[in-house]
Amino acid sequence: MRTGRTFALATGVALLAAACAAPASSPSAAASAAAPSSQGPSDGARPSQAPSAPAGAGRLDGAELQARWWNWAASSPARSNPVKDPDGTFCAENQPGDVWFLAGSFGEKRQRTCSVPAGRPVAFPLVNLVGDASDCASWMKGAKGAAVLDGRPLTAERYEGSQVRLTGVEGNPVTAGAGSFGGLACGLWVQIDPLSPGPHTLRIEGSSGSFELSVGYELQVG
């Protein structure tokens, strides 16, 4: 199902925001940007932090992981959004209680510093998108990415398409305006078990078609 807007990102929302700045009649760096088809919360409405899974639920499946991450990415306005964040200042914004999400960028190269609570698993996309079946098929055909933690390559999971619904606050760079939107989510994703206390270095690279991003994180755990 299309929402009238295709959201594309890399490593945690990299592409889709480009749609927000493009005219509705022309393609953006990520995808075409048409007006959203449904209305959600009124201006200024702000949902609570991304929903949490039950304690001890463990690793998230593809549908839940993508739905929760997208709702998290759309839960903050541009001024404090983790995807727009230039240096990691807002990496803790609206984090759920059972997993720590990381974001990519809207195509820019970024270097961020982020404190992560001990005992919290970490999850992020390399490249990802919400659209319809055709969008996902095209996106995944060219999707590539890599993540390296402390010099060790991480294994990415490939999700071809899961139905999701996301709600964004006014001014967020993911959906542009407040509202609730549905679509098919797809992408390359990484989930990491809780890291040992202390410093860790993470590098995320992702691309699909002409879009590419590179984001580095200096993580301090505990």
| Residue tagged 């997993």 (tokens) | 99
Determine the 3-state secondary structure of 27 from DSSP.
strand
Compute the half-sphere exposure of residue 31: CA atoms within 13 Å on the CB side of its CA.
29
CB of 82 closer than 8 Å to CB of 124: no
Structural domain includes residue 111: yes
Query: What is the model's pLDDT at position 26?
Result: 24
Query: What is the model's pLDDT at position 8?
Result: 63
The pTM of the full predicted model, rounded to 2 decimals, is 0.78
Structural domain includes residue 106: yes
Instruction: Return d(Cα 204, Cα 59) in angstroms, integer.
Output: 20
Structural domain includes residue 110: yes
Structural domain includes residue 161: yes
pLDDT class of 59 with cuts at 50, 70, 90 = confident
Structural domain includes residue 52: no
Determine the 3-state secondary structure of 188 from DSSP.
strand
User: How many CB atoms lie under 10 A from the CB of residue 109?
Assistant: 10
**pLDDT, averaged across the chain:** 80
Instruction: Return d(Cα 114, Cα 88) in angstroms, integer.
Output: 6
pLDDT class of 23 with cuts at 50, 70, 90 = very low
Model confidence pLDDT, tens digit, residues 88-129: 999 999 999 999 999 999 898 999 999 999 999 999 999 999
Instruction: Return d(Cα 67, Cα 6) in angstroms, integer.
Output: 15
Query: What is the model's pLDDT at position 177?
Result: 87
Query: What is the model's pLDDT at position 32?
Result: 25
Structural domain includes residue 49: no
User: 109 lies in which domain range?
Assistant: 7-41+59-221
Query: What is the model's pLDDT at position 176?
Result: 83
| Residue tagged 């007006």 (tokens) | 35
Number of structural domains found in the chain: 1
168: nearest Cα among 60, 27, 36 = 36
Read off the DSSP letter of residue 84. T
Query: What is the model's pLDDT at position 21?
Result: 27
Q: Tell me the C-alpha to C-alpha distance, in Å, between residue 75 and each of 16, 149, 174, 195, 201.
A: 14, 27, 9, 26, 26
Please give the torsion angle defined by the CA atoms of residues 188, 152, 109 and 103, in that order, rounded to the nearest 10 degrees.
50
Structural domain includes residue 47: no
191: nearest Cα among 153, 148, 157 = 157
Average pLDDT over residues 26-45: 29
Q: Is the pLDDT reported for residue 46 higher than 90? A: no
> CB within 8 A of 172, min separation 6: which ones?
73, 74, 75, 76, 77, 78, 81, 178
Structural domain includes residue 154: yes
Both tokens assigned to 93: 């914004």
